[in-house]
Amino acid sequence: MPKTAYVRTKPHLNIGTMGHVDHGKTTLTAAITKVLSDRAGSSTSYVSFDRIDRAPEEAQRGITINIAHVEYETDTRHYAHVDMPGHADYVKNMVTGAAQLDGAILVVSAVDGIMPQTAEHVLLARQVGVDHIVVALNKADAGDPELTDLVELEVRELLSAHGYGGDGVPVIRVSGLKALAGDPRWTASVEALLDAVDTYVPMPVRYTDAPFLLPVENVLTITGRGTVVTGAVERGTVRVGDRVSVLGADIETVVTGLETFGKPMESAQAGDNVALLVRGVERDRVRRGHVVAAPGSVTPSRRFTAQVYILSAREGGRTTPVATGYRPQFYIRTADVVGDIDLGEAAVARPGDTVTMTVELGRDTPLESGLGFAIREGGRTVGAGTVTALL
């Protein structure tokens, strides 16, 4: 059945909900699509809580992604929205999901206030380059107004502590649950949240003329058509028929199809969330963490120097210092790679320190100066850094 092609009528941005487990991210995501789909002449489809939380890729294609994407349109913009899980075990996915975000909605329950993953997500968002955060103080229907004032103060402080200028950040009191139920007071709150996102999150500069690069988030097989890789285009433009390299898999191939949210497109550009059909590539040769790029435009490497902040115990980090020879996991774009650290003369770094280190990764990885990454160990984030030079 022929599908309707994607028509680019509005600027496209990538956004997402993050925050502590159970604070209402998925409910709010569903409420956003509901409120927008109810607007006159809307092109947004309502996506129910169950359809977001079930992550269809997981059930139907046997692939665990743990991050659900939905799309919606406001009057001025087209958004791809990732609903990120709050559970600590999923922070890895939060990192790779957030790496593509132009802005984020931090969901904080007005009833519970700041919790450990609230703080961890803010830190990770900063590290992976999310420059703009809008706060949804959710469950405002159930929160005591004075307590909610305190939660708001706390959130602004947390954001300021991470360089987000908390005093200027829009903090909107919402109820995803009541908005979903159609309560006008609370559908208005979701409208206000969307207005804040539309105006506070600027349209990022898109490097559409740079050589094409897409970090692979997910790989699927479409029966009868072949292998598809998905992700957000980090830079450049790709067209059907273009030759591309899959770095990490050492494959050169041709793009034979392009889609965004099920709609075919002739070309995709920086910022677009796309599925790329690639010719003659076996499903199990490509993995999340690989990078699809214009041939010859990127040379993967393994050694680099970095500026790294070692999280304090209070921030959920280690209680003991790290030393040369320490081998944690490095989360770089969508990749998850082990690496050896060398602290040079300092030899040790204490929680709370910012240090320069040399890293040797366990495998070749596309790297560049300025790239942000997270360091994790045993299911928690212990450091956050930026590549300063390739060696």
Calpha distance 146→152 (Å, rounded): 10
Catalytic (active site) residue 87: yes
Q: What is the largest CA-CA distance in the chain?
A: 65
Tell me the C-alpha to C-alpha distance, in Å, between residue 347 and each of 205, 333, 340, 356: 40, 27, 13, 11
Give me the residues paired with residue 373 across strands.
332, 385
Catalytic (active site) residue 26: yes
Catalytic (active site) residue 25: yes
From 34, 126, 139, 206, residue interacting with ligand GTP (rule: CB under 6 A): 139
Determine if 117 is a binding residue for Mg ion (CB under 5 A). no
From 175, 189, 218, 305, residue interacting with ligand GTP (rule: CB under 6 A): 175
Determine if 183 is a binding residue for ligand GTP (CB under 6 A). no
DSSP letter, residue 312? P
Tell me the C-alpha to C-alpha distance, in Å, between residue 317 and each of 309, 313, 382, 384: 10, 4, 5, 10
Report the Cα 295 to chain-centroid distance in Å.
26
CB of 175 to ligand GTP, least distance (A): 4
CB of 21 to Mg ion, least distance (A): 8
Burial annotation 251-262 (CB, 10 A radius, 16+ → b, else e): bebebebbbbee
Q: Which is nearer to ligand GTP, 86 or 215 (CB)?
A: 86
From 26, 138, 187, 218, residue interacting with Mg ion (rule: CB under 5 A): 26
- Which entry of 12, 17, 20, 26 is annotated as an active-site residue? 26
Q: Which residue is nearest to ligand GTP (CB)?
A: 86
Determine if 191 is a binding residue for ligand GTP (CB under 6 A). no
Catalytic (active site) residue 290: no
CB of 375 to ligand GTP, least distance (A): 23
Q: What is the DSSP string of 192-234?
A: HHHHHHHHHSPPPP--TTSPPEEE--EEEEETTTEEEEEEE--
Number of residues that bind ligand GTP (CB under 6 A): 17
CB of 29 within 8 A of CB of 18? Answer: no
CB of 284 to Mg ion, least distance (A): 30
Question: Residues with catalytic annotation?
Answer: 22, 25-26, 87
Binding site for ligand GTP (CB under 6 A): 21-27, 85-87, 138-139, 141-142, 175-177
